[in-house]
Structure 1
Amino acid sequence: MFDAHALRGLLPRLRRHAFLLTASRLAGDAAVAMAIARLPRDADGRPQGRDLAQLFTLVQEAARQVVCPHDGHLGPLHERLAALPPPQRAMLVLVTVEALPAAEAAAICGLAAEDGAGALTAARTALGSRMGSSRPRQRSGQGGGGARR
């Protein structure tokens, strides 16, 4: 269980998570605000939550509702991430950035563990193939063992 003070400490992490889901700082901040507004309140009206998984779930739900254009001048990695379908993007962010186990990430995304694993694999494959296409090619004779005679 966390209180309003602990929630303040989590805001940078929640904002990063929402930005990676939406590719927009404005939409990400709106998603975080919506998620916090949905939290139960204590007797003094301050937000309280069960755990980080609850917050991520609420942010995910809110991010799906916010419609806002992507930020301009996204870096290549953010552009590739934004191009992934939402379930794949969410799984990839939760597992690789937030370091959650795949089964917990799937539960946050509302997916069965097997479906979450499939979405994660598809995201890694898609992101890897997109990133691989922009890497410079290594010319023969460079790297490894040098030129052969």
Structure 2
Amino acid sequence: MSPEYAVDGIFSMKSDVFSFGVILLEMLSRKKNRGFSHPDHHLNLLGHAWILWIEDKASELTDKTLHDSCTISEVLRCLHVALLCVQRVPEDRPSMSSVVLMLSSDVTLPPPNQPGFYTERSVSGSPLRTHPCSANNSISIIEAR
């Protein structure tokens, strides 16, 4: 979900671009953004991808099985496009037609800016707080009047 939709309820074509970028990062890493964990930090997948990008270690994000079936330059290009899609500011994100062009040609790609939802998770508790359940095992049947 794009930051502008999650925070302000504003949905646009650029919201779809953000979602596409997240899916592309998940496909490249073979990890989900939700629940992502790394031993060195508590960032989500987008934050982890961004750190690796700015440290010039982007290839570390990609699943190694992709290296057998694709060229590393193609994989890194896909990662670059994904980071362009998840930029925090919607106006900075490319249109989907531009994304298709970027993925299917050798056009020069601009450098990406920091992604939206580049967040650090709290580690003090579980992501979902659990509440004690009732020992009552009955099932209520709801009927219309």
Structure whose residues are more often helix by fraction = 1
TM-score (norm: length of structure 1): 0.29
TM-score (norm 2): 0.29
